[in-house]
Structure 1
Amino acid sequence: MKAVIYVVGMLLLITACVGKEVKSNLKNKPNIEYPAALVHQLDKFPLLQVPYSIDSVFFDADSALQIGTGTLYAPTVKLLSTPMASDEVSRREQYYLNDYFKIAKAKKDGKYAALKANLDIGMTENAVCNPVGRIEFGDTAALLIWEIKYESFPACPSYFGHDLLGSYIQHGKVISCMHLASRESGADAPMFYETFQLAKIDQQGRINIKTSSKTQEDSTVVEQSKSHFHYQITTRGFKLLK
């Protein structure tokens, strides 16, 4: 009789433990359906509080001014960046992404030193990609924010860029990828230029963007401009608002 009671007790204990484990797993499982290749990488993309601002303070941080080593790899970057939005700035991003894929492959194959040895002025010497975070919209959609940093061969004309992109995900697919914000600079003595694109994203999927650019000759500003526009995230991607 004692043996029967012991067996029944153990079964109840095991059932209770399994139940707790299942509840725990369900609690930690994201409600939004992400592409299968991204599910195990979500810890790299912490949840961001909205409204979320990408401002000049973000780009002035010491870590932002260093290339560092990338923690997003080429297959993930390919997934996140396809398809690219149709606006001019996002389309231009493909140029730096192509350089990134070429450099990433050279590093993987142990041929990066040879690649650098054959670079000429005005060519990209290094490029890396990293996760930034994610914004979730209800239970069906999310915006994964990530960055690409790149720098040129160290001779004039030279350039450095730090760009943030947003990949809009719905029903397990990347719907579109858009250039959200950036800090880019370059020099071709005696000329120097710097551009900023700053962004603020709210819970309704509205993206408020401000851009500014300045060109100097020696220490004299010869050209500068500012602009301000808005996008709305829709089921089809990013829509420019009139």
Structure 2
Amino acid sequence: MKKIYPDAATALDGLLFDGMTIAAGGFGLCGIPELLIAAIRDAGTKDLTVASNNAGVDGFGLGLLLETRQVRKMISSYVGENAEFMRQYLSGELELEFNPQGTLAERMRAGGAGIPGFYTATGVGTVIAEGKEVKTFNGREYILETGIIADLSIVKAWKADPSGNLVFRKTARNFNPPAATCGKTCIVEVEEIVPMGSLDPDTIHLPGIYVHRLIQGQHEKRIEQRTVRKREGV
């Protein structure tokens, strides 16, 4: 199967539709599929449900889709770095399903593994548990969380071979592997596509069986927050 496409718009061709659910990798601005996000914005697809740890920042990452009002609902853990996200949520323009970070990662992993639900103690006794089934195991309460199965996964990796075997770069691994597995179709953008056979099998983080389409591109790699200290003696 030919998996390599020339650009993000071509890779998304025939996959986008209004009201779809998208699982997006990344954490803050680290390891986000920025090229695919921009292409989804340009396509104008609307009423999206997006499962992602957060929504980027104002003007970059998933923040682009919030600015154009293409997102109807976010399934997220953290919203603190995006003023437009907070504004839309507080004004009732955006639906938000809060998930603890570990729960969100496991919901994606479970969906990709064919597991419809699992019990976790995280969130018991909080608003996270409202409306969910509660069971007791060994004297401790657990809530039922459902696996996420998305119409489309968009992720960012460091290297890939033509069959879609992926290597992620350090912390950019974050939510990308579980997000990749839970989509009915998975598109990956990478910094480099290397020849078949050049990746050591022991270094591959995600096998190509999960990857349907692949693009290579240039990435901006913004820093979300830069913290520095004064030089000593200055």
TM-score (norm 1): 0.25
Bigger share in helix:
1
Who wins on radius of gyration, i.e. which is larger?
Answer: 1
Structure 2 length as normaliser, TM-score?
0.26
Structure having the higher strand fraction is 1
